[in-house]
């Protein structure tokens, strides 16, 4: 049995209470230690009392951690073994996991540049900067301890929170019980690279006790569904990462056929499991042709176990896959089904099932079902017209606007609930460029500017 210990301020800790981490077939992969609230409280208090490493040491350690994560055996596990384990646990195609490992290491090595991109033009990051003699804004932390309730849907979610370490926060990560392996490997790499044990910790907890991390920290990043987002919506010290409901808009002067590859990639890239994958596609005019063509392309995807090199679709335990299938069937009742109308869970015969793509066509641009986001390639196709305006396009993490209408693009950018706008059809919604904001810069949440004037 492999044990995934908590990583506290005095080293690894094997708790009495542990939970099994299975793969999608039900086979046991590891036992994850679950720490009690008193352990969380003591750990966070110790981290709060610790001083951050100097900035230069933090950046050097982050770069070294990127190298260790990508090339070294950590806890006796080479990267290839780690990636196969992540694929088995989360049901994510192994090729997607490997791409995520490469991207995570690259972003980790460039964290300093991402942080600098968020620095306000009127501020400096050191009060001893000569500009403070004339008076300047100085970037300062809003707190000292930052906790992360991480997600298990994709390893790439762990590429964001290391920015807090670059800024001098002490960071405690609560890993997903579905896929704790990426968080464990990353924290291990960061410690091996030079971060002290009181700078970054791994604190798995039972779900009912996770609130102790939020209460004991200054700021928190929490991943979850709509219920989690609603629960923390009025907490100024908590930043939530929920469903993305990313969208594509195609206006009448554009030919969707020229952008079909991008549309397919937006829906299915990374296995279709991310908040940046397209949930709904709005077409000015008749969307029937696009719906048919998209369904034809997605239907050709193979059904394979996640560790198969040719796998492109996510896999879930059979019971969970059937529950998702039932939910989709009920939600899509009355919609035009191009793909997935007779079911999306394909039994692999080993206790797991592939979630096959689904494409449904709706009649009205304001149909609320266009916001139903599911953890596999599932797209809702809708008509759109100028009278509908930006209303059906709201609440989008990413909106790809395939249009030449600059006034429309300006309106989309001005809409507060649209996080990112990709213009012209050249970039799929699942694209994440290094150094650009995901849902705003994390540093916008972690930092504030203070006026400093000195003699």
C-alpha–C-alpha distance, residues 87 and 313, integer Å: 11
Largest Cα–Cα separation, the chain: 74
pLDDT reported for residue 434 = 80
pLDDT > 90: what percent of the chain?
92
**Closest to 114 measured CA to CA, from 444, 451, 339, 453:** 444
* Mean pLDDT of the residues in the chain: 96
Q: Which overall architecture, per CATH, does domain 246-423 show?
A: 3-Layer(aba) Sandwich (3.40)
- State residue 265 phi and psi, 5-degree precision: -65, -40
Partners of 207 in the β-ladder: none
Token digits of residue 334: 């009355």
C-alpha–C-alpha distance, residues 421 and 191, integer Å: 37
**What are 333-351's pLDDT values in tens digits?**
999 999 999 999 999 999 9
pLDDT reported for residue 131 = 92
Confidence of residue 436 (pLDDT cuts 50, 70, 90): confident
C-alpha–C-alpha distance, residues 272 and 374, integer Å: 9
Token digits of residue 190: 């960061």
The answer to whether 3-242+437-452 and 246-423 have equal CATH topology is no
Query: What is the CA 386 to chain-centroid distance, rounded?
Result: 32
Domain parsing of the chain, residue ranges: 3-242+437-452, 246-423
Cβ neighbours of residue 446 closer than 8 Å, sequence gap 6 or more: 141, 142, 143, 146, 163, 164, 167, 169, 219
Token digits of residue 259: 């952008």
**What are 76-133's pLDDT values in tens digits?**
999 999 999 999 999 999 999 999 999 999 999 999 888 999 999 999 999 999 999 9
**Contact assessment for residue 278 and residue 384, using Cβ atoms and an 8 Å cutoff:** no
pLDDT reported for residue 237 = 96
In this predicted structure, the answer to whether residue 1 has a pLDDT above a threshold of 80 is: no
3-242+437-452 fold? Aldehyde Dehydrogenase; Chain A, domain 1 (3.40.605)
- SS3 labels along 245-270: CEEEEECCCCCHHHHHHHHHHHHHHH
C-alpha–C-alpha distance, residues 152 and 159, integer Å: 13
pLDDT reported for residue 455 = 80
DSSP 74: B
DSSP 77: B
Count the neighbouring beta carbons within 10 Å of the beta carbon of residue 308: 15
C-alpha–C-alpha distance, residues 316 and 347, integer Å: 10
**What are 191-249's pLDDT values in tens digits?**
999 999 999 999 999 988 889 999 999 999 999 999 988 888 789 999 999 999 999 99
Partners of 278 in the β-ladder: 246
**What are 270-285's pLDDT values in tens digits?**
999 999 999 999 999 9
Q: Sign of torsion, CA 166 170 176 181?
A: positive
Q: Report CA-CA distances (Å) from 301 to 268, 292, 294, 297, 298.
A: 10, 15, 12, 8, 6
> What average pLDDT does this structure show over 387-400?
96
Claim: this prediction has a pTM higher than 0.85: yes
> What average pLDDT does this structure show over 291-315?
98
């Amino acid at each position: 049995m492999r044990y995934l210990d908590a990583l506290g301020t005095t080293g690894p800790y094997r708790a009495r209470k542990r939970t099994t981490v299975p793969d999608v077939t039900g086979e046991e992969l590891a036992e994850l230690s679950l720490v009690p609230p008193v352990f969380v409280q003591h750990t966070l208090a110790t981290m709060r009392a610790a001083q951050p490493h100097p900035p230069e040491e933090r950046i050097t350690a982050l770069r070294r951690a990127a190298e260790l994560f990508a090339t070294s055996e950590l806890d006796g596990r080479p990267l290839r073994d780690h990636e196969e384990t992540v694929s088995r646990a989360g049901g994510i195609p192994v090729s997607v996991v490997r791409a995520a490992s490469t991207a995570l290491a690259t972003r980790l090595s460039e964290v300093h540049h991402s942080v600098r991109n968020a620095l306000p033009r009127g501020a400096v990051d050191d009060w001893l900067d000569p500009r403070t003699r004339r008076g300047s804004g100085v970037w300062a932390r809003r707190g000292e301890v930052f906790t992360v309730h991480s997600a298990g849907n994709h390893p790439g979610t762990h590429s964001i929170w290391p920015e807090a370490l670059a800024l001098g926060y002490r960071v405690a990560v609560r890993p997903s019980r579905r896929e704790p392996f990426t968080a464990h490997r990353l924290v291990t790499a960061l410690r091996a690279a030079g971060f002290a044990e009181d700078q970054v910790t791994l604190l798995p907890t039972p779900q009912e006790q996770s609130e102790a991390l939020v209460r004991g920290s200054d700021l928190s990043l929490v991943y979850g569904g709509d219920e989690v987002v609603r629960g923390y919506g009025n907490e100024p010290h908590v930043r939530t990462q929920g469903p993305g409901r990313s969208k594509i808009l195609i206006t009448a002067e554009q030919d969707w056929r020229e952008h079909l590859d991008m549309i397919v990639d937006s829906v299915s890239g990374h296995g279709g499991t991310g908040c940046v994958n397209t949930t709904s596609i709005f077409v000015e005019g008749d969307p029937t042709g696009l719906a048919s063509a998209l369904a034809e392309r997605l239907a050709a995807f193979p059904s394979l176990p996640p560790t198969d090199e040719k796998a492109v679709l996510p896999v879930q335990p059979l019971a969970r896959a059937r529950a998702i299938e039932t939910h989709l069937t009920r939600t899509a009742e009355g919609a035009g089904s191009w793909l997935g109308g007779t079911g999306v869970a394909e039994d692999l015969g080993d206790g797991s099932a592939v979630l096959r793509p689904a494409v449904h066509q709706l009649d009205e641009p304001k149909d609320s079902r266009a916001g139903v986001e599911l953890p596999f390639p599932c797209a809702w196709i809708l008509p759109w017209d100028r009278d509908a305006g930006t209303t059906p396009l709201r609440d989008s993490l990413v909106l790809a606007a395939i249009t030449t209408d600059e006034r429309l693009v300006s309106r989309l950018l001005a809409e507060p609930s649209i996080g990112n706008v990709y213009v012209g059809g050249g970039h799929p919604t699942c694209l994440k460029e290094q150094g650009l904001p995901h849902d705003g810069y994390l540093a916008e949440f972690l930092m504030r500017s203070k006026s400093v004037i000195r003699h």
